[in-house]
Amino acid sequence: MSDQLPLGDIRVIELGTLLAGPFSGRLLADFGAEVIKVEPPGKSDPMRNWGQSKDGVGLWWPIQSRNKKSITLNLRVEEGQNILKEMVKDADVIIENFRPGTMEKWNLSYEELSEINPKLIMVRTSGYGQTGPYKHRAGFGSVGEAMGGLRNVTGFPDRPPSRIGVSIGDTLAALFSTVGCLVALHERERSGVGQVVDTALYESVFSVMESLIPDYLFAGYIRERMGNILPGVAPSNIYFTKDKTYIVIGANADGVFRRLCEAMGQPYLADDPRFSTHHARGENMKVLDMLIEDWTKSLDAKDALEILDEKGVPSGLIYTAKQILEDPHYQEREMIVNVDHPELGEFPMPGIVPKLSRTPGKVNHVGPEVMGKHNDEVYRNWLGYSEEEVERLKETSVI
């Protein structure tokens, strides 16, 4: 195992707030990039206080900003802008998720910054992208999920469109931005120059919407909310058990369905004309789901899942945080890591994804609990400012 993390030679300046931009910063930091998070003096990233808290300490921030360094810098004033330009000389990546035009208003356009450092890569995540008639609109993840098509297919057909239980629009955009950043870093090895990575929230959502458009154009089919089922794909649903819980079973492939029938003690169902083909099972989904649930209702969830596992049928419980913490597979795969928190002690958070065999990522510390914690390190050690100069910048609210 290498002591050098794979992105250990990459320096990132993170200017964004809340979710989409900072989540990209977290992913890069997980694999060793030096990520320096910039917050305006006196006005912290709202993420510090979002979500649940313990003893006044936000529980989301330590995860979202793990492995990062924190400085304060006012980009709305010329001196702050000039300081950032000094930092850009030795940076590889800038991450920002402001409304398009903001960086230009601050005299920090890619054109200006790339003149200082032609190798610079600017990762720009916004609601609608850097071009197009909607580019100046404010865009949050919820709007991106709606415009990208996801909200319309989420929920049950007799109810209004629903939100998924996490900020999936922001997270998808961050993932695509991170992919774009890594692609640009790789391409830079050949060309020697950087470029802009332009990621739109709505496009990131739309990109995972499968065959939504050809379904409509070629088949005249508009996907709608279907609850827990997949249209025309069965069995793939949740099923109630004897001990009043739900389990998920996915057995829509012919071979897997036959194994499910054996697990249920009804092998003849695999040859029943109503269920013997993929199309037939889709046509007779309701009847099939009733037969399966009649079986699951006769067993406790644990017993049903043991039988299904023995037969090789994909199935599982619908986990809450409690089941995740208790699951031995999560533990073996180190998907819950505990990191020391200066106020809360041992702090659990999600592990690293994906897992690299030779140079895996690592969680070194929680998100910096104090704004500007690394001001001295950056301004004095990196940029070479004197102690008096740093104090002057503080007094004038530049940092």
pLDDT by 10s per residue, the chain, length 399: 345 899 999 999 999 899 999 999 999 999 999 999 999 999 999 999 998 999 989 999 999 999 999 999 999 999 999 999 999 999 999 999 999 999 999 999 999 999 999 999 999 999 999 999 999 998 889 999 999 999 999 999 999 999 999 999 999 999 999 999 999 999 999 999 999 999 999 999 999 999 999 999 999 999 999 999 988 899 999 999 999 999 999 999 999 999 999 999 999 999 999 999 999 999 999 999 999 999 999 999 999 999 999 999 999 999 999 999 999 999 999 999 999 999 999 999 999 999 999 999 999 999 999 999 999 999 999 999 999 999 999 999 999
Residue 229 lies in a domain: no
- The residues annotated as belonging to the active site are 170
Express each pLDDT in 97-125 by its tens digit.
999 999 999 999 999 999 999 999 999 99
**Residue 92 maps to a domain:** yes
Do residues 225 and 152 make contact, with C-beta atoms less than 8 angstroms apart?
Answer: yes
**One-letter amino acid of 55:** D
Residues 173 and 309 occupy one common structural domain? no
Cα separation, 205 vs 221, in Å, equals 20
For 236-278, give the DSSP string: EEEEE-TTS-EEEEE--SHHHHHHHHHHTT-GGGGGSTTTSSH
Q: C-alpha angle with apex 379: 378 to 385, nearest 5 degrees?
A: 145
Q: Are residues 306 and 379 in the same domain?
A: no
Q: Do 64 and 204 sit in the same domain of this protein?
A: yes
Q: CA triplet 149, 151, 157: central angle to 5 degrees?
A: 110
Q: Looking at the structure, do residues 385 and 241 belong to the same domain, yes or no? A: no
Residue 128 and residue 104 share a domain: yes
Residue 99 gets which letter from DSSP?
Answer: P
Q: Is 101 helix (H, G, I), strand (E, B) or coil?
A: coil
Distance from C-alpha of 69 to C-alpha of 305, rounded to nearest angstrom: 45
The dihedral built from the CA positions of residue 152, 200, 12 and 182, taken in this order, carries a sign that is: positive
Same domain, 59 and 162: yes
Determine, yes or no, domain membership for 80.
Answer: yes
Whether 223 is covered by a domain: the verdict is no
Q: Which residues pair with 316 in a beta bridge?
A: 248
Please check whether residue 130 is in contact with residue 96, taking contact to mean a CB–CB distance below 8 angstroms: no
- Tell me: do 294 and 163 sit in the same domain: no
Residue 225 lies in a domain: no
CATH code, 296: 3.30.1540.10
Instruction: Collapse the DSSP code of 72 into the 3-class scheme (helix H, G, I; strand E, B; otherwise coil) and give the result.
Output: strand
E strand or H helix that includes residue 168: helix 168-191
Contact 99, 138 (CB under 8 A): yes
User: Are 111 and 181 members of one domain?
Assistant: yes
Nearest one of 13, 72, 38, 53 to 393, comparing CA atoms: 72
Q: Is residue 68 part of a domain?
A: yes
Statement to judge: residues 150 and 95 lie in one domain: yes
Based on the number of CB atoms within 10 Å of its own CB, is 107 exposed (0-12), middle (13-18) or buried (19 or more)?
A: middle
**What pLDDT, on the 0 to 100 scale, is given for residue 1?**
37
Rounded Cα–Cα distance for residues 333 and 100 (Å): 40
23: helix, strand or coil? helix
**C-alpha distance from residue 340 to each of 42, 55, 66, 122, 379 (Å):** 26, 16, 11, 32, 26
Domain of residue 56: give its range.
Answer: 11-208+335-345+356-395
Q: What is the CATH number of the domain that holds 175?
A: 3.40.50.10540
Same structural domain, 18 and 159: yes
Q: Where are the beta strands (DSSP E) in 128-205?
A: 196-200
User: What does the pLDDT read at residue 3?
Assistant: 58
Query: From the CA atom positions of the chain, what is the Rg in Å?
Result: 25
Neighbours of 219 (CB within 10 A): 9
Beta strands in the chain (DSSP E): 11-14, 34-39, 53-54, 57-58, 69-72, 93-96, 121-126, 196-200, 236-240, 246-250, 315-317, 336-341, 345-350
In a domain, 73, yes or no: yes
Residue 178 resides in a domain: yes
Cβ contact 146:140 at 8 Å: no
Instruction: Quote the number of domains for the chain.
Output: 2
Nearest-angstrom CA–CA distance, 1 and 3? 7
Q: Same structural domain for residues 56 and 184?
A: yes
Q: What count of residues does the chain have?
A: 399
Positive or negative torsion for Cα 249, 252, 256, 259: positive
- Domain identity same for 189 and 252: no
The whole-angstrom separation of Cα 298 and Cα 281 is 23
